[in-house]
Amino acid sequence: MPLQAIQEAAAYIQAQSQNFRPATGIILGTGLGALAREVDVQYEISYADIPHFPVSTVESHAGRLLLGQLNGQPVAVLQGRFHYYEGYTMAQVVLPVRVLKLLGIGQLFVSNAAGGLNPDFSISDLMLLDDHINLLPTNPLIGPNDNQLGPRFPDMYAAYDAGLLAKARAAAEVLGQGRTTQRGVYAAVPGPMLETPAEYRYLRTIGADAVGMSTVPEVIAARHLGLPVLAVSVITDLCYPGQLKPVVIADILAAAAAAEPRLTALMKAVLAAV
Ligand code: HPA
């Protein structure tokens, strides 16, 4: 998607919000919309009204951009994200991240629902991402590079910001969430089907602690833009031998809902620590 489309989307949002300038962008994952209720919302814009924005097709995603204050910090909250499995191009999947960067964000927080591969994890644990493995068939940087967005060969040595990770870890301890806040590697798969038992074993073997169908494209785009990223998975199902059973989407949403208050508290605490 050309830079012009990103600029047009950003210009529309600025016109609707008296040039509101968010400092932090927040992407809310499947079943993880509750943080939005904590935002002192100043402007609410439907994705359907923003030029070039795709409209989310997943029922558990609202499809709204909220601009307002969270814990005294100006935030832009993407309530609903776009997944590769919905049929969007990678450029569409990451458009919101690029638009938020033009609006002025200096950091990106991302949440998602993920299957747990690490046998130490329990349902509804949070996992702070400290690395990822991209198993999606493509990525948002394929194609001609726009140097105004970022470099041709962005470094991924520290995709997840060490300072934000340290703040999140410290916040988890202060909030009494130390035991339920894990840390690990997220593997991104295309979906939309869940994995076979052999695939879960494979993912564990190659070093993943959790698996999901999102996040990595947005993180790649954010790193290309030079944005520090904090990403948190909610472990919604257990995918290691002995624990594996057929996945019921309602159970995933219930596990996400159970973790939401902890996720919200954690993100607010990290914001306040900035
Ligand atoms: N696999 C892939 N994506 C997921 C899973 C899973 O087990 N759980 C939640 N999102």
DSSP-assigned letters across all residues of 88-148: --HHHHHHHHHHHHHHT-SEEEEEEEEEE-STT--TT-EEEEEEEEE-SS--TT-SS--TT
The atom number, within ligand 1, closest to the CA of 212 reads: 3
Query: pLDDT (tens digit, 9 = 90+) per residue, 245-267?
Result: 888 888 888 999 999 999 999 99
Domain ranges of the chain: 3-273
Per-position b or e across 182-210, b if 16+ CB within 10 A of its CB: bbbbbbbbebeebbeeebbbebbeeebbb
pLDDT at 189: 98
CATH H-level, domain 3-273: superfamily: Nucleoside phosphorylase domain (3.40.50.1580)
Burial class (CB in 10 A: 0-12, 13-18, 19+), 45: middle
| DSSP class of 49 | G
Neighbours of 103 (CB within 10 A): 22
Phi, psi angles (nearest 5°) of residue 14: -65, -40
The residue whose CA has the least distance to atom 6 of ligand 1 is 115
Bridge partners for 75 per DSSP: 24, 68
| Mutate-to-test residue for ligand 1 from 193, 213, 233, 249, highest number of ligand atoms within 8 A of CB | 213
Which tokens sit at 123?
A: 């349902």
Pocket of ligand 1 (CB under 6 A): 113-115, 189, 194-195, 211-213, 236-237, 239, 247, 252
Residue 182: partners with Cβ closer than 8 Å, 6 or more residues away: 118, 120, 121, 125, 126, 127, 128, 209, 235
The atom number, within ligand 1, closest to the CA of 189 reads: 2
**Euclidean distance between CA atoms 256 and 34, whole angstroms:** 10
Query: pLDDT (tens digit, 9 = 90+) per residue, 32-69?
Result: 788 999 999 999 999 999 999 987 666 655 789 999 99
The mean pLDDT values, 10 residues at a time, for the chain of 274 residues are: 93 96 93 86 95 74 88 93 93 96 98 96 97 98 96 96 97 95 98 94 97 98 98 94 82 91 95 80
| Mutate-to-test residue for ligand 1 from 135, 186, 202, 252, highest number of ligand atoms within 8 A of CB | 252
DSSP labels, 175-201 = TT-TTTEEEEEEEE---SS---HHHHH
